[in-house]
Structures are given as structure tokens and as C-alpha cells.
Structure 1
């Protein structure tokens, strides 16, 4: 049978035409899909800029469905879920990203960090801790360590908090010596006296300029009945941390009375008072005065320097006035007005308290309470 060359002549152009049509159909489909995906993405971005988060989430979900391999859309969607408080959905998005095998190392670390933030915001501290630990050695290590530090402070896990703070200090993220000293002091509060003193001594070594370890060591010494050792501890502290004298003035005066060191203590406290006219230092000086007239004179001296309602109330309590029958009424009114002025105020959030805190109960900031009363600020 002879082969007809005419079929070949007709077949080649036909095959070419069919191939061209098929390629045009594929190209058209790709263009349609590419137009649809960016359209949904930009629509979601527009909703996000207008703070319409519900509509933005719907648009991003539509974009992700059309192009499930786009990691940036997944990140945007996960962050939106977290901001809205939908932590379970955020976790699912970021876990899906981590399960993909086509992610680069950088994107995988980013997804791991985002997942840790999801757990942290949801209050799942154990799972957040595990996720953050996996970021060691990555570009997110510093952020992970800071988040771990917050977790350990929140759960009052002071040994682990000290470990993380030392790592941050070693990596050059700041000076965390003061934090470590606080953690050791917090840990000492739950220990027997001998172990507590060892931890406090370590805290003094870590942060020689910190006042808290010395104050708490002196408290332990006084509790054990060793007033001499307490007086010496506080005397050294007055030299190394002079700004802390208002916080230690009262126990210092009491230890001085118990060890017959009134004159030396008065000298130290008067020098501190000249540096800063502190109400606490004033009260300690008055307590060391054997003569009532000299004590009253100190209140008047303070009033000449500072218009203090607290000092006026203290002075009036020991004075004999002409209208003595009204003395208790006036004294009560002054005490009532002066009471709020004797509080301490956090410099970070403004939280006020009757006692001085090393860590603010309101905002959890460390060393945010000045060693001065509200009236002195």
C-alpha cells in the first residue's frame, strides 16, 4: 500500500494549530487565576487598612484557597486571627505552614516564632515555652529569650528566669544583672534563713550597686537577733547605694538604737537628708532624737524647706495648742489628708501602694518605684 504524502502535508499544520490553541487556553487560564489571586489579596489589604478585619479575613481566605502555596498570605491570615483573639485558628494556620516541606529555613523559623506568639497570647504557657525553646540559634533567638523571661516571671519560676537573663546579658541585649539579683532575692524569700542568706550574698555579687539584697540580709540578721551585724550591713549599704537610704532609714535607726550607735547613725542620716529631703529619713532622724524639742525642730526645719502636709501633721501631733479641745479634730483631718501622700507611686504605670515594691504589682516593671513618697515627687 502506497503512503499518501498529502495526509502528512495536511496533518502537520493541523497539529500545529491544535497545539497553539491548547497553549492559548492554558495561558488564558493562568492569566485568569493570576488576576483573581492578587485581586482577592489587594481587596483584603484594603479591608485591613480600613480596620475591617472580618472582611479582610474573608478576602485572605479566598486568596489562600486560590493559591495555597503562598506563605505570605498564610502569615497575614495567622496574624489577623491572633489580633482578633481567634488563637486556635491562628495556631492551625501556623502549624499548617510548619508542616509544609517547601518552606525555606527562614520562613520555617518565622512560622515557629508566630506559633509561639499564638500560644503566648492564648495563655498556653507550657506550649509557648516549648515553641520558644526551638528558636535557639535562629534570628528570633533574642525575641524568644525575652518572651521566655516574661513567662518565667509570670509563673514565678525564678531559677529559669535567672538562667535566661544571664543568656540575654551574655548576648549583649542589655544589662540584666539587676534582674538576676531580683530573681535571687525572690528565690531567697521561700528558703530557710541559711540558704536565703547564701542566695542574697550571690545577688550582692551579681549586682553590687543593688540595694535590695543588703536590705533583706539586714532583715534576716535582725530576725536572728544580730542587731550589730544588721547595723554594719546597712552602714555599708548607705555608702554603696546612697539613693536607697530612705528605704533602709527606719531599720537602720532601730539597729543603731539597739547597738548604741545613735551618734554615728545620726551623722549618716543627716548627710542623706541634706542630699535629698526625704520624709523617711526625716522620721528616722526624729526617732534617734532623745529630746522631744529637738525632734519637733526637725519637723519645722523640713517645713521651712518643703511645704509638707505630712510633716505638718507629725509636728502638730506633739504640740500643745491654745484651743486644745479641737486638737483631735484638726489632727484627724490632717492625718486623713496626708495618708494618700505617704504612698509610693510606680513611675511606669502610676500604680500607688502603701508599701514599696521592687516589682510593680500593676505593670510588672522592676525597680519602677522611686524610694520617695508621693508628696516628695
Structure 2
């Protein structure tokens, strides 16, 4: 069979024409997709600015479908899911990013951090801890350590929290020595007396100006019957951290009575009271007085300086009234009225409590309770 060259002459222009048409169609499709992706992206941004998260999510999903290789769109979508509480969808987005082989090192670390935040917000602390541990040595290491610290505080794993605080104190501009001392003190509350003493000594070295380790160690030695050692520790704390005297005034007075240092402590407390007019220091001073009348006189002097309902109630408790039969009722009413005034108040969140806390039960802040009662603020 003879080959007809005319078909070749016709075929070459036809093939060229079809190729040119196909390329034009591809370019047209590419232009359409490129126009659609930015429109969807900017539409999503507009919805975000107007706080319309549902519509923003829909727009970003459309943008991701049109341009599945853009990592920024995935990050935006994952963060939106997390903000809305759709943690499973956020996890899927960030795990998809981590599974991509073409993801840059910086974006991989960013996706790992975002995934850890997903688990943290979802309350999956074990998975969050595992994800945060993988950020060691990255640009997100400090943020990861702070998140780990929050996890260990929340789970009251004080040993791990102490280790993280040590790393943060060594590698960041913030000061975590005081926090580390608190963690060691928390561990000491659950330890044997011997182990507790070692932990508290370590806490004193970590934060020499923190009053809690010395106060806890003094209480430990007082329970062991060593009043002199307890007194020495508390007196040293009073000298080095004068602002802590209202907190340690009562145990200091108790230890001084036990070891015969009453006059020395009385002088120290009176000097501090002249400067602070603290109710706790005042109570400690009255506990050192031998005569009840002399003790009550201190409350009278306080009333002359400060209009204190707390001091008035304590003075009236030891006085004889003209109508003594009504004294119990009056006293009960006064004690009920002064209860809110004798509380401590967190400076961070305003949570009030009958006792002083080193960590606020409300907002979990450390050292947020000033050593003064509500009436003194």
C-alpha cells in the first residue's frame, strides 16, 4: 500500500493547531484558578475582619481546594478551626501539613507547634506534651517550655515543673528561680522529713530572697521540736525579706516564746509595726504580752491610728460592757462583719480567701497575694 504524503502535509498543521488550542485552554484554566484562589482568600480575610468565622472557614476551604499546595492557607484554616473549638478538624489540617514531604523546615516546626496547641486546647495533655517535646531546639522551644510548665502545674507534677523552670531560668531572659523554689516546696509537702529538708534547702539556694522555703523549713523544724532552729530561720527571713514579716509574725512569736527570745522578737515586731501598721504583726505583738490589759491596749493604739473594725472587734472581745448580757450577741455580730475584712485578696484576679496562698486558687498565679488583709489594702 502506497503512503499518501498529502496526509502528512495536512496532519502537521492540524497537530500544531490542536497543541496550540490545548495550551491556550490550560493557560485559561490556570488563570481562572489563580483568579479564584485570591478572591476566595481575600473574601475569607474580609469575613475574619467582620468576625464572621463560619463564612471565613468556607472561603478558606474553597481557597485550599483551588490551591492545595499553599501552606499559609492551611495554617489559617487550622487556626480558625482551633478558635472555633473544632479541635479534630484543626488536628487533621496540621497533621496533613506535617505529612507533606515538600514542607520547609520552618513551616514544619510551625505546624508542629500549631498541632501542640490543638491538643492543649482540646485538653489532651498527654498528646500535647508529646507534641511540645518535639519542639526542643527549634524557634518555638521557649513557647513549648512555657506550655509544658502550664501542663505540669495543672497536673501538679512538681518534679517535671521544677526541671522545666530550671531550663527556662537558664535559657530565657525571664526569672523562674522563684517559681522553681515553689515547686520544690510543693514536693517537700509530700516527702518524708529528711527528703523534705533536702528539697527545702535546695529551694533556698535556688531563690535566696523567697520567704516560703525558709518558712516551710522553720515549720518542719518546729514540728520536730527544734524551736531554736525554727527561730533562727524566721529571724533571718525577717531581716532579709522585711515585706514577709506579716506572714511569719505568728510563727516567729511562737518560736521566740519556746526558746526564750521574747524580748528580741517583740522589739523587731514593734519596729516593723511602726512602719506597716499590719494587723498580723499587731496580733503577734499582743501574743507576746503577759498581761491581757496590755495586749488590749495595743488594739486601742491601733484604733487611734487606723479606723479598723478588726481591731475594734478584738478589743471589745476582752472588755466589760455596760449591758454585759448583750455582749455575746454584739461580739457575734462584729465577728461576722469582720470576716470579709480579714481575708487575703489576689492582686491578679481578686480571688479572696481566709488564708494566704502562694499560688492563687482562682487564676493560678504565683505570689499574687500581698501579705496584707483586705482591710489594710
Specify the TM-score bucket, using the shorter chain as the normaliser: over 0.9
Contact 2:343 2:355 in 1 (8 A): yes
List runs of 5+ in structure 1 lacking aligned partners. Answer: none
Cα shift at 1:14: 4.7
Secondary structure of the corresponding residue to residue 238 of structure 1:
helix
Question: Greater shift after overlay, 43-52 or 300-309?
Answer: 43-52
Cα shift at 1:326: 2.5
Alignment-derived partner of residue 300 in structure 1: 300
User: 1:235-269: CA deviations, max 9, x gaps?
Assistant: 11111111111111111111111122111110111
Alignment-derived partner of residue 356 in structure 1: 356
Contact 2:142 2:172 in 1 (8 A): no
Alignment-derived partner of residue 92 in structure 1: 92
User: 1:109-134: CA deviations, max 9, x gaps?
Assistant: 00000000001111111111110011
Question: TM-score when scaled to structure 1?
Answer: 0.96
Written as runs of structure 1 = structure 2, the 5 A alignment for 1:312-351 is: 312-351=312-351
Count residues with an aligned counterpart.
Answer: 377
Alignment-derived partner of residue 25 in structure 1: 25
Question: Greater shift after overlay, 335-344 or 313-322?
Answer: 313-322
Alignment-derived partner of residue 66 in structure 2: 66
Contact 2:342 2:354 in 1 (8 A): yes
C-alpha RMSD of matched pairs (Å): 1.8
2:363 counterpart of 1:368: no
Question: Greater shift after overlay, 360-369 or 30-39?
Answer: 30-39
Secondary structure of the corresponding residue to residue 356 of structure 2:
coil
Work out the CA distance in 2 between the residues paired with 1:257 and 1:76.
Answer: 66
Alignment-derived partner of residue 291 in structure 1: 291
Alignment-derived partner of residue 191 in structure 2: 191
Structure 1's consecutive aligned runs of 4 or more residues displaced over 3 angstroms after TM superposition are 1-19
User: 1:270-319: CA deviations, max 9, x gaps?
Assistant: 11112211100000000101122221221111111111110011111111
Work out the CA distance in 2 between the residues paired with 1:118 and 1:224.
Answer: 49
Work out the CA distance in 1 between the residues paired with 2:357 and 2:262.
Answer: 28
Alignment-derived partner of residue 134 in structure 1: 134
Work out the CA distance in 2 between the residues paired with 1:274 and 1:21.
Answer: 96
Alignment-derived partner of residue 218 in structure 2: 218
Written as runs of structure 1 = structure 2, the 5 A alignment for 1:205-284 is: 205-284=205-284
Cα shift at 1:12: 5.7
Cα shift at 1:10: 6.1
User: 1:200-250: CA deviations, max 9, x gaps?
Assistant: 011111111000011111111111111121111111111111111111111
Cα shift at 1:43: 2.0
Cα shift at 1:158: 1.1
Work out the CA distance in 1 between the residues paired with 2:56 and 2:24.
Answer: 34
Secondary structure of the corresponding residue to residue 357 of structure 1:
coil
List runs of 5+ in structure 2 lacking aligned partners. Answer: none
Work out the CA distance in 2 between the residues paired with 1:286 and 1:120.
Answer: 51
Secondary structure of the corresponding residue to residue 251 of structure 2:
helix
Question: TM-score when scaled to structure 2?
Answer: 0.96
Written as runs of structure 1 = structure 2, the 5 A alignment for 1:141-152 is: 141-152=141-152
